[in-house]
């Protein structure tokens, strides 16, 4: 069995790098908007995780709950059944795994199976006990901005004070709750939650003002890959650009966000992302 060194993992993931950490998306769900259920079985999922790692992913984000707008939640046993074999297998092969879950029970089991990062799109709101799991395990914690479960999140895209001020204030409250639960804030990464209770316009505004999220004092992870605000920009109101034709637009964001200095990028096409980052790095390096 692999032996894990929490402190080493934390140190590695927070070590000052020359480029953002690349988090490869591995949705092991039958109903993902972006992968269309291609990795719902363990074999293809593990293979894809290994391929993303070979293509330069720093960590692989395994998720068993689809969060596309309107999605209904799987039962906890179903989520465990989807996620655990993949986490166990990839971790066993030396891959740094994050588990994309809002549930304490799933986070706890995934960490026991080798996951080193808990990526909680609800930032501890959906199941506050997840913070105890993070505290006790020493895992890195990604806390995303979130307001409601996917079946009703579009009703919550209302920010009277402006989306940037609203997201910043609410992430600040999450940080307070995370600290109050006894989690070491040095292990926390923040995420503005593009597409979650946000209109397309909100997502662009957040990307224009990431510095205000960073002022909360923690590194920032951004997940823009394949999201509908890219489809809306690149297509028309009636015919958004299809999910599988958004990568070139996404890569423009990858370069901008890397230059800006985000901590991490959550992406589907790892090879395209690491290629873009390699070019950026080469140009930035003196000849």
CA dihedral (34, 45, 80, 131) in degrees, to 10, reads -70
Q: Which residue is nearest to ligand PMM (CB)?
A: 223
Binding residue (CB under 6 A) for ligand PMM from 79, 89, 100, 127? 100
Shortest Å distance, C-beta 82 to ligand PMM: 14
Window 161-200: contact mask with ligand PMM (x via CB under 6 A): ------------------------------x-xx------
Number of residues that bind ligand PMM (CB under 6 A): 19
Q: How near is the Cβ of 35 to ligand PMM at its closest, in Å?
A: 7
Question: For the purposes of burial, counting CB atoms within 10 Å of the CB of 155, is it exposed (0-12), middle (13-18) or buried (19 or more)?
Answer: exposed
Catalytic annotation present for 266: yes
Query: By CB neighbour count within 10 A (0-12 exposed, 13-18 middle, 19+ buried), where does 125 fall?
Result: buried
Measured in residues, the chain has a length of 287
Closest CA to 225 of 35, 45, 98: 35
Contacts of 26 (CB under 8 A, 6+ apart): 39, 45, 48, 49, 52, 60, 61, 62, 63, 86
Catalytic residue among 227, 241, 282, 285: 227
- Looking at the Cβ atoms of 121 and 262, the one nearer to ligand PMM is 121
Alpha-carbon gap, residue 77 to 275, rounded angstroms: 38
Residue 240's H or E segment, with its range, is: none
Site for ligand PMM in 9-68 (CB under 6 A): 25, 27, 32-34, 67-68
Q: Does 154 bind ligand PMM (CB under 6 A)?
A: no
Q: Which of 266, 271, 282, 285 is catalytic?
A: 266
Q: Is 198 a residue of the active site?
A: no
Q: Tell me the catalytic residues.
A: 227, 266
Residues engaged in binding ligand PMM (CB under 6 A) = 25, 27, 32-34, 67-68, 100, 119, 121, 142, 144, 191, 193-194, 221, 223, 226, 266
């Amino acid at each position: 069995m692999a032996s894990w060194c929490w402190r080493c993992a934390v140190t590695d993931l927070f070590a000052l790098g020359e480029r953002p950490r690349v988090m490869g998306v591995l949705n092991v769900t039958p109903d993902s908007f972006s992968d269309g259920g291609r990795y719902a079985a363990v074999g293809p999922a593990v293979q894809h995780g290994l391929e993303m790692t070979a293509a330069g992913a720093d960590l692989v984000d395994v998720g068993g709950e689809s969060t596309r707008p309107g999605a209904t939640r799987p039962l906890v046993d179903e989520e465990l059944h989807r996620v655990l074999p993949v986490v166990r297998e990839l971790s066993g092969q030396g891959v740094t795994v994050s588990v994309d879950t809002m549930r304490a029970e799933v986070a706890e089991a995934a960490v026991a199976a080798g996951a080193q990062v808990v990526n909680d799109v609800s930032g501890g709101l959906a199941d506050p006990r997840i913070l105890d799991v993070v505290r006790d395990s020493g895992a890195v914690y990604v806390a995303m901005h979130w307001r409601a479960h996917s079946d009703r999140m579009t009703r919550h895209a209302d920010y009277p004070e402006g989306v940037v001020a609203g997201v910043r204030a609410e992430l600040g409250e999450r940080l307070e709750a995370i600290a109050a639960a006894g989690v070491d804030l040095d292990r926390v990464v923040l995420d503005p939650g593009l597409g979650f209770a946000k209109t397309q316009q909100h997502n662009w505004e957040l990307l224009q003002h990431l510095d205000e999220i960073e002022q909360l004092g923690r590194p920032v992870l951004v997940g823009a890959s394949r999201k509908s605000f890219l489809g809306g920009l690149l297509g028309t109101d009636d015919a958004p650009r299809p999910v599988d034709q958004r990568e070139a637009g996404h890569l423009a964001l990858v370069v901008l966000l890397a230059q800006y200095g985000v901590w991490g990028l959550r992406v589907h096409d790892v090879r395209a992302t690491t290629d873009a980052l390699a070019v950026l790095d080469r140009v930035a390096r003196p000849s």
